[in-house]
Amino acid sequence: MEKFDWFKILILSVAIVLAGYFVGNMHKTGKAFDRSVQVKGLAEKEVKADLAVWPINITLAGNDLLTLKNDLEMQNRAVKAFFLKLGFTEDELTSGNITITDTQAVLYGSENRNREYRYIANAEFTVRTKNIEKVQQALTGSLALISNGILINSKNSWQPIEYSYSGLNEIKPAMIEEATRNAREVADKFAEDSNSKVGKIKNAQQGLFTINNLDENTAYIKVVRVVSTIDYYLED
């Protein structure tokens, strides 16, 4: 019975030693996997806008409704003829709503009753095209309308023409690849400085794509940008 007790004690001691070894090894291994570095990779690309929208207002004032209506229709036709002459198609031109305001019927603002013109008419006209060069030529050439007594205004005075880019899905893969490559280069540099090596990816976040104007005066050139955040394991 006594020998049996010593045998159990021996087995228990060996088990404790082995357990301690495995626990310590697991802790060491876990610590190794805890070593990681988080880096960001940037990718930027300049692209040309592929859609232009020019929202135009034609505004006239007068005291005779019939005359005002006829003048507004005449100017609408003249503006449309101007764009057609430049090579725009009917599908690229849209005539919108026409509104006429009776300033004397406005309940608030007594100064409206002393206006020189009682009625103010506004007509909407929209140019929507994928031909960026053509719409820029039209913007410059629109000054010629003034000689015919026609003054057009954009609905957005700070940015007369709205430019947009719709080809994001086509350039996404290449930009993500570039951002990932850029992040790896940063990680490699960090590992070199810390006498380590970059291991596998621990976690990766693609980040959001943003599309902004190149600058205030070059809205037809867009800058597409994405920042990827990647965690890499570090190895000795």
* pLDDT per residue as tens digits for the range 118-175: 888 888 999 999 999 999 899 888 888 887 788 888 777 777 899 999 999 999 999 9
Under 8 Å between Cβ of 71 and 98:
no
CA 143 to chain centre: 31
For the segment 203-228, the average pLDDT, to the nearest whole number, is 91
Helix orientation angle between 65-85 and 132-141, rounded to the nearest 10 degrees: 130
Please indicate whether residue 7 or residue 195 has the higher confidence score (pLDDT).
195
pLDDT of amino acid 132: 94
What local confidence, expressed as pLDDT, does residue 202 receive? 87
Model's pTM, two decimal places? 0.73
Give the pLDDT confidence score for residue 109 in this predicted structure.
Answer: 56
* pLDDT computed for residue 226 by the predictor: 95
Decide if pLDDT at 1 tops 50: no
Which pLDDT score, from 0 to 100, does residue 28 have? 47
pLDDT value for 196: 84
Confidence of residue 86 (pLDDT cuts 50, 70, 90): very high
Q: Mean of the per-residue pLDDT values for the chain?
A: 83
Give the residue with greater pLDDT, 205 vs 50.
Answer: 50
With vertex at residue 53, the alpha carbon angle to CA 48 and CA 59, rounded to the nearest 5 degrees, is 145
Tell me, what's the pLDDT at 12? 58
Q: What are phi and psi of 226, to 5 degrees?
A: -145, 140
Residue 187 Cα distances to 37, 70, 197, 206, 231, angstroms: 7, 70, 9, 16, 9
Q: How confident is the model at residue 7 (pLDDT cuts 50, 70, 90)?
A: low
**Minimum mean pLDDT among 14-23, 50-59, 108-117, 198-207: which range?**
14-23
pLDDT(31) > 60: no
